[in-house]
Structure 1
Amino acid sequence: MAKILQIETATAICSVALSVNGENISYKEEHGQNLHAANLTLFIDEVVKAAGLAYQDLDAIAVSKGPGSYTGLRIGVSTAKGLCYALDKPLVAIETLNMMAAGFLTENPGYSGLICPMIDARRMEVYTAVFDPLLQILLPTEAKIIDETSFNNFLSNQIITFLGDGAAKCAEVLTHQHAKFDARNFNSAAYMSQLANQAFNNGNFEDVAYFEPFYLKDFVVTPSKKQQAQG
């Protein structure tokens, strides 16, 4: 019975879940800016207690590894690694877009189209990938600037459902008749459970000392207007 604590902080949603053999037994999440640093450890403690477990009862820690928010990913991964060190437990890393696609399929059994999760980057750019209904990757994860021709090679003959916080801003340009949108939240640690359990059973663990989030793009600090004026 694999008991896995799961952490998702790749977007503005701070989310924690605890699963046993791939089934959720407790979770907590909240949406808002700058929540992760203050709330993540509190959420973890609440979820573990709600499950009636002690930390040492856990078999592994799973974390959403990105792509996504640089700050959110750093906080989530640092917390996960700290727990692994303290408890001497293995670390499982789940790609965020894969988790989102898995969540969509969980909520839409029998769906036969393609799934395109999107995480907002900036302007018309998103972090995205395309999956089939078996979660096979058809378009690997990339940072993509969206215009009216994006995904036309897929949309020409099959439905694609776009989801995630990056999808809403793309609805105005992705107007193909086969383009569908799902506004529900799939950035949830609750949707990590089956993927984390599978990785645990296969022994797909990360090196805790060297593991880093999948940022996809380098973090760039933009100078404030005041700094620009002084320069």
Structure 2
Amino acid sequence: MVYILNIETATKNCSVSVGANGTTIAFKELSEEQFNHAEKLHVFIKDVLNQASLDLSQLHAVAVSKGPGSYTGLRIGVSAAKGLCYALDIPLIAVDTLAVLAAQISVANGLIIPMIDARRMEVFTQQFNEHNKAITPAEALIIDETAFADKSGNIHLVGDGALKCKTVLTSDTFVFHEDVVYPSAKQMSPLSYEKFQQNDFVDVAYFEPYYLKDFMLTTKKITN
């Protein structure tokens, strides 16, 4: 049995799971506006290992959601994953965040388009077919009435970025899955196990999250 710890912190959702041969056997998450990932993550890791009746020494790999997403959230998740891999001498697996979000729904036909809020009317997004396979690269896209106008058939939208676009994307072709808001470690288990079987690992020393956009530091203007 291959046990993989999955860590997802790319959004407001702090989410951790344990997968056994690709099936999630333990899971815990919490979504908060305050981004308390630094406080919650290691507690959640301990909790899911207890749920699965496992010790850290029994893990075969650690998988982390690599982005795009929140700069701070990604740094916290990747740092924790790296630390565990170093200490346990096990491989690190990087899973695409948008693939994790897309995997939360299953459709018979049409496109699956996960969207992560990137502020204002911009989203991190990517297109997947009905088999949950990526058919376009991830991109930062500003949404307007013309978005995806060249696509036919049902377009299934998931994520917090999709929810804010409901007033703009009004065509009947758009299907909003409002119950799917954030990527979750629960869906990471089959994705990380597939990468484990393929020996698709990343370098623990040099791996960095995929931010997609440069980090912008803003400061408040001080007035006298």
Map Cα deviations across residues 78-108 of structure 1 (whole Å, 9 max, x no partner).
Answer: 0000000011110000000011111212xxx
The two structures have a TM-score, normalised by structure 1, of: 0.93
* 2:160 aligned to which of 139, 156, 165: 165
How much identity, in percent, do the aligned residues show? 52
> Alpha-carbon deviations, 1:177-196, whole Å to 9, x = none?
10010112351100011110
Cα distance in 2 between the residues matched to 1:35 and 1:112:
38
Distance, in Å, in 2 between the alignment partners of 1:134 and 1:215 is 26
Task: Read off the aligned partner of 1:169 and give its amino acid letter.
Answer: K
Q: CA deviation at 1:139?
A: 2.5
| 1:190 to 2:186 alignment | yes
Among 213, 217, 221, which residue is 1:225 paired with?
221
Q: What count of residue pairs does the alignment treat as equivalent?
A: 222
Residue 63 (structure 2) pairs with residue 24 (structure 1): no
TM-score normalised by the chain length of structure 2? 0.96
Distance in 2 (alpha carbons) for counterparts of 1:120 and 1:137? 19
Quote the residue 1:62 is aligned against: 63
* Partner SS, residue 79 of structure 1: helix
Q: Indicate the larger mover: 216-225 or 62-71.
A: 216-225
Q: Which amino acid aligns with 2:160?
A: D
Query: 2:126 matched to 1:125?
Result: no
Q: Aligned match of 1:114 in 111, 116, 122?
A: 111
Structure 2: distance between partners of 1:87 and 1:177: 51
What is the alpha-carbon root mean square deviation over aligned residues?
A: 1.1
Distance 1:21 1:112 in 2: 28
Identify unmatched segments of 5+ residues in structure 2. none
One-letter amino acid of the counterpart of residue 4, structure 1: I
> Residue 175 of structure 1: SS of its match in structure 2?
coil
* Rounded Cα–Cα distance in structure 2 between residues aligned with 1:219 and 1:189: 24
Determine the C-alpha separation between the residues in 2 that align with 1:26 and 1:146: 36
Give the corresponding residue for 1:77: 78
Report the Cα offset of residue 135 of structure 1: 2.3
Give the 3-state SS of the residue equivalent to 1:166 in structure 2: helix
Of Structure 1 and Structure 2, the greater helix share is in 1
Letter of the 1:152 partner, please give it: A
TM-superposed deviation, 1:35:
1.6
State the Cα distance separating 1:153 from its structure 2 match: 0.9
How far residue 67 of structure 1 moved from its aligned partner, in angstroms, is 0.2
- Rounded Cα–Cα distance in structure 2 between residues aligned with 1:59 and 1:138: 30
The structure 2 residue matched to 1:200, chosen from 185, 196, 199, is 196
2:212 is matched with: 216
For residues 16-70 of structure 1, the C-alpha deviation after alignment (integer angstroms, 9 at most, x for no partner) is 0001001011010001022201000000001011100110000000000000000
* Whole-angstrom distance in 2 between the partners of 1:133 and 1:86: 39
